[in-house]
Amino acid sequence: MEEYIPLLLTKYNYWVYITLMMIGLWAMIAKNNLVKKIVGMNIFQTAIILFYVSIGAKYGGTIPIIQHGPGHGHGAAQIKALAYINPLPHVLMLTAIVVSVATLGVALALVIKIHRRHRTLEEDEILEQLRES
């Protein structure tokens, strides 16, 4: 068991993501208030974005900009791909952040419309009103 402790401590970021994801999932499933469900969804999305950004990082890596081309001939420099950080997860997460903000805005707008119609944000009360009509 003691040999696993350093492994667990070095991978603390994964525990943070798992914790955030579980908090978000719990809020979406267990809460009855629609705003709390939306906040849980946003926490869940943030955890996923943080996870992808962290797996794109590399200890000791550098940005993938090549100053001088490999050139031609016998003394040409070789490009070592392992020395560079992969920019793809970061670029994809920029898109995910935009989608997350848009989803949050649309969800909050729908909650405003639901509140105006049903005068409550509690899911069970809204479902009861829908069953009665």
Range of the domain at 125: 4-58+86-132
Number of domains present in the structure of the chain: 1
Any domain includes 107: yes
Residue 74: the pLDDT is 53
For position 20, which CATH number holds? 1.10.287.3510
List alpha helices for the chain, DSSP H: 4-10, 12-30, 34-56, 88-118, 123-132
Q: Which pLDDT belongs to residue 28? A: 97
Q: What is the pLDDT along the chain (133 residues), one digit of tens a residue?
A: 677 778 777 788 889 999 999 999 999 999 999 999 999 999 999 999 999 988 887 888 888 776 665 555 554 556 777 888 888 888 999 999 999 999 999 999 999 999 999 999 999 999 999 999 8
Q: What is the pLDDT of residue 3?
A: 76
Q: Is residue 67 a part of any domain in this protein?
A: no
In a domain, 100, yes or no: yes
Cα–Cα distance for residue pair 75/93, rounded to 1 Å:
39
Please report whether residue 80 resides in a domain. Answer: no
Work out the number of other CB atoms within 10 angstroms of the CB of residue 44.
20
**pTM exceeding the 0.75 threshold for the entire prediction:** yes
Q: Is residue 68 part of a domain?
A: no
pLDDT of residue 4: 76
